[in-house]
Amino acid sequence: MKRKDQPTVAGAVTVTKIDRRTFLRVTGVAGGGLMLGVTVGCSPEESAKVRSADVAAEPIELNAYVQISADGIFIQSPNPEIGQGVDTALPMIVAEELDAAWSDVTVVQAETHPRFDRQMSGGSRSIPSRWLPLRQAGAAARHMLVAAAALQWEVDPAECETRDSMVIHAPSNRSLSYMELANSAAVQPLPELDGLKLKDRSEFRLLGKRVGGAKNHTLVTGGALFGIDHRMPDLLYATYVKCPAVGGRVKAANLEAVKALPGVVDAFVQDEIKPPPGGFLTVPLAAGVAIVAEDTWSAFRARRVLDVEWDEADAAKDSWSAARAQAQELSAGAGNEAVADKGDVEGAFDNADKTLKSFYEYAFVSHAQMEPQNSTAWMRDGKLEIWSPTQAPQFGADSVANLLDMDVADITVHALRSGGGFGRRAINDPMVEVAAIARRLNRPVKLTWTREDDMAHDYYRAGGFHSLEGALDGDGKLVGWRNHLISFTHDGTNPVIGGNIDANIDPGPFVPNLNLTQTLLPWQTPCGPWRAPRSNVVAFAHQCFLHELSHAAGRDHLEFMLELMGEPQWLEEGNSWSLHTGRAAGVIRLAAEKAGWGKTLPEGHALGLAFYFSHAGHIAEAAEVSVSDDRTVHVHRVTAAVDVGPIVNLSGAENQVQGSVIDGFSTMLGQQVTFENGRALETNFDTYPLLRIPRAPDVDVHFIQSDFPPTGLGEPALPPLAPAVGNAIFAATGERVRRMPIAKAGYS
């Protein structure tokens, strides 16, 4: 059953605009519905409350994720949607165990609330962390619906089956819809979760199929979904101007001239506020000048008039050119910190048949998400309400509370859809800034960053350098490995995010003699998680160098890679989230087979192959590449083989792999943020090029469906792309690429 005003979208769940009163009823915020949290449990007091409530005219809440009314089935999507498709995939998991007809489902973005546990999109953790709780939520609701039907028919529940939002009594062929049973189901005893029988993968009717995005209709019709679309009555608009070099403070500013401009409501200096010690997602409030106006363009026009004198005594002086020169000098020596050492490394190199040494480097890059940073806040009666396209709403509330000396219970965060995240929106500096602005006003205020703000004040993917050495025995086997990583540190002790290395990353576990060292260079400009942190750069250096070694050994690279994997086994015995050599070999073979490894290719074309284990995903990619006489790289096709366990939404999974490949190629090709005197020199797309549609390769995706626990897909398909392309460039030209972006090595 559907609402009369619901549009029908082929292949997709329908999504309606729900008024505030209905939303509060459906989500249980307004009243005494039974709300079951991530464990689907509830207290006896809650259970008694719902059983005594008159809910006949209201949507019935079977648990925190499932509410049913005469209008259909409402399923909560608990994690922020940043383009990865969890607003469809997570409700699909519930619907599968519920045996709901997908056409009956309306997806509701869950409010930020502790009952949903960790509401964060990041680390490719949404699917794996929610897999069991959401299945149990669907199965528990189904159990209660069956019990209600059996009670009404006075039959054994074992005689009942479910399908397409119906309970069916097979012997008598009677049936009742979930909508008809909702009232009586709500008062059924809650089942023990451990006793629920969950479906085998062979029984899935919905999971593994292609399902269109839950909000596709709203997206293609231009509906207001994203944070930047948010509107409300009496809204003010703000811009926030910070020092181009991180750490600069305001010495003087022409505030009176700015305040006199048309449409400007206020302009003021905000001092820096540093957070108390905490996690990396608790961020400072940078010093700056806030301009508040009646509309965005008035604020932006006033910004052009603003003249700030900055105090840069404590500001960043970071220089990429200086760091690069220092790293090249350091590459010849040992690192100042030993990270790992196993076997007899010196002996392996002394007795090797061949040794090889190479130096790889990669630049700082920006997240460059399409939707500029923004947030809206309203302070009233001592309480703060925030609307933000965030990956981590609870961390954002914590940051605001810590910096503004508020009780986190007085802060409500609404997570709106994000126009790209890639880790950047896990760091809630726009939320902190708008909260500081809003507390001065008695009206809601919306902060919008410019594109230049976005790229000049990012939490960047860190650049780095690898001085690699490999030793081969007489049979062409890899017997020794040295890696001296030169990276960066904010505090003089710890590497920046993504700037570390350890013995458990490729190919450390497979080399009998291993030595890892690290040198950390001081760096003040902030770094942060960027799609597949660490893996996205280490894969390039390691997998390309492995190809150098297989070539030096005269070995077929496919054979060389499979030999490294050895016998099928878990890297960490008993840990199903660790690398499994059999799964790794499976995707390597599949990618090579589907790409036509060893077959004749069109003239001038070559294949490159790479594998990487990232965020619990086993993924191999083969890139078919040609290079023209003017050194233009053409990536014609990328074949990806993926093992991330059972696929939830095949359409979404394919999109994630395709997007990762395109993002990886775009970043590899020409993206770099350079710093001089603490300033980012590339602050818009004229100097920071994104891949255009005509250059995008065909992406052929193949999944190995397995019964291992499912893992996420937002990140692990990106790391293998760069080394696959790099290895193909060598195969096509005989020239090795050891620098990202490859435009800096003379390619276009």
For residue 35, what pLDDT band results from cuts at 50, 70 and 90?
Answer: very low
If you ran DSSP here, which 8-state letter would residue 104 be given?
Answer: G
Output the CA torsion sign for 173, 178, 179, 184.
positive
User: Cα(652)–Cα(71) distance, rounded to whole angstroms?
Assistant: 27
pLDDT in tens, 594-621: 999 999 999 999 999 999 999 999 999 9
| Averaged pLDDT score across all residues of the chain | 91
**Multiple choice CATH, 232-314+378-448, 1.10.287, 3.90.1200, 3.90.1170, 1.10.3470:** 3.90.1170
Task: State mean pLDDT over 14-38.
Answer: 38
Task: State mean pLDDT over 694-722.
Answer: 96
Task: State mean pLDDT over 245-255.
Answer: 98
Please report, in angstroms and rounded to a whole number, the separation of the first and last CA atoms in the chain: 54
Under DSSP, is residue 242 helix (H, G, I), strand (E, B) or coil? strand
Task: State mean pLDDT over 280-288.
Answer: 88
Q: Is the pLDDT of residue 49 over 60?
A: no
pLDDT in tens, 287-314: 999 999 999 999 999 999 999 999 999 9
C-beta of residue 710 within 8 angstroms of C-beta of residue 649: no
Q: What pLDDT is recorded for position 334?
A: 66
pLDDT in tens, 69-106: 999 999 999 999 999 999 999 999 999 999 999 999 99
Q: Which residues of 338-360 are buried (b: 16+ CB within 10 A; e: fewer)?
A: ebeeeeebeebbeebeebbebbb
**Range in 9-23, 133-147, 223-237 with the lowest mean pLDDT:** 9-23
pTM: 0.91
Cα-to-chain-centroid distance, residue 742: 25
For residue 493, what pLDDT band results from cuts at 50, 70 and 90?
Answer: very high
C-beta of residue 422 within 8 angstroms of C-beta of residue 470: no
**Range in 260-274, 276-290, 534-548 with the lowest mean pLDDT:** 276-290
For residue 573, what pLDDT band results from cuts at 50, 70 and 90?
Answer: confident
C-beta of residue 110 within 8 angstroms of C-beta of residue 116: yes
- Which residue in 514, 546, 539, 548 sits closest to 464, CA to CA? 539
Q: What pLDDT is recorded for position 280?
A: 63
For residue 336, what pLDDT band results from cuts at 50, 70 and 90?
Answer: confident
Q: Which residues of 207-238 are buried (b: 16+ CB within 10 A; e: fewer)?
A: bbeebbbbbbbbeeeeeebbbbebeeeeebbb
If you ran DSSP here, which 8-state letter would residue 271 be given?
Answer: -
Q: Which residues pair with 620 in a beta bridge?
A: 611, 641
471 residue type, one letter: A
C-beta of residue 376 within 8 angstroms of C-beta of residue 232: yes
The reply to whether domains 20-220 and 320-365+461-745 share a CATH topology is yes
Task: Say if residue 512 is preceded by a cis peptide, omega within 30 of 0.
Answer: no
User: Cα(234)–Cα(294) distance, rounded to whole angstroms?
Assistant: 9
Task: State mean pLDDT over 269-283.
Answer: 84
C-beta of residue 579 within 8 angstroms of C-beta of residue 611: no
Residues with Cβ within 8 Å of residue 654, at least 6 apart in sequence: 210, 701
- Which residue in 645, 647, 613, 639 sits closest to 716, CA to CA? 613
Task: State mean pLDDT over 536-540.
Answer: 98
Any idea what the Cα angle at residue 584 is, between residues 580 and 590, rounded to 5°? 145
- Which residue in 263, 265, 311, 303 sits closest to 287, CA to CA? 311
Where are the domains positioned within the chain?
20-220, 232-314+378-448, 320-365+461-745
pLDDT in tens, 421-446: 999 999 999 999 999 999 999 999 99
The fold adopted by the segment(s) 320-365+461-745 is: Aldehyde Oxidoreductase; domain 4 (3.30.365)
DSSP letters along 564-588, please?
HH-SS-BSSTT-TTS-BHHHHHHHH
CATH number of 20-220: 3.30.365.10
C-beta of residue 281 within 8 angstroms of C-beta of residue 427: yes
If you ran DSSP here, which 8-state letter would residue 276 be given?
Answer: P
For residue 279, what pLDDT band results from cuts at 50, 70 and 90?
Answer: low
> Strands (DSSP E) along 474-561, which ranges?
478-489, 514-522
C-beta of residue 25 within 8 angstroms of C-beta of residue 60: no
